[in-house]
Amino acid sequence: MSNPVKDRSGLGKPPKAERRAAGRLAAQQRAAALRRKKYLKNALTVIGGLAVIVAAAYAFGAFDGDTTAGSASGTPSASTAAQLPPDADPALATKPTATAGTEDLTKLAVTTLIEGKGAAVQAGQTISVNYVGVSYRTGEEFDSSWSRSQPYEFPLGGGEVIKGWDQGLVGVKVGSRVQLDIPADLAYGETGQQPGPLRFIVDVLSAK
C-alpha cells in the first residue's frame, strides 16, 4: 500500500511553511503582473491623449508650418496680445507683412496703417515697440522683434536708434501701426550693416 503522505511521484509533500511561502510568491507575482498591466494601460491612455491634443492643435492652426524668423505673418500670439494697450486693434497681436518699396526713396515717409487711441509719443519718452525691418529695395527681412517674441524698448530721440526712428516715431499715437520708409542717410548709409534705404513696420505699444 502506498504511503498516503506521498504523491504518485513518490516525492513527499513539501512542508507546510514552504507551501505558504510558495503561495505568497505566486500572489506577489500576480500582483506585479496586474501593476504592469495597469501601468501600460495608463501610458497608452496618456500617449493617446497627447496625440489628440497635437491633432487638435494642427486643426485649429496652432502650427502654421513656418517657424523661421523671416516668416511674413503668423497666428496671433497670446504673449504679444497681453502686451498690447487695452483698447488696441487686435491686428497688433499678429506679425505684419512688409514688402519692398516701388518708388525711389529720397526722404523719410511715415504712413499710418492702424491709428491708435493712445497719446502721441514725444521725444524723451521710453517707448516699447514691435517691428519688422526689410530692405526697401528687395523686401528681404533683416530684423524683427517678432522673431524674439519680445518687444523692443528704447528712449525716443536719444540717439540709441537710427535717425529715421528717432524722427519718424515722434507724434505717433500709442496703439498705432506705422510704416517707416527711411532713406539710407537716416538709416545705416549705403555701406553700413544694412545698406540702402529701409522699410520698417512699427507697432507702438507703450510710452512712459
Q: Cell numbers at residue 84, please?
A: 498690447
Q: How far is CA 24 from CA 12, 16, 36, 38, in A?
A: 21, 13, 18, 21
Q: Cell numbers at residue 95, please?
A: 506679425
User: Distance between CA 109 and CA 124 in Å, rounded?
Assistant: 22
Average pLDDT by stretches of 10, the chain with 208 residues: 39 57 69 68 55 44 36 44 82 95 94 96 97 97 95 96 97 97 96 93 96
pLDDT single digits (tens) 175-191: 999 999 999 999 999 98
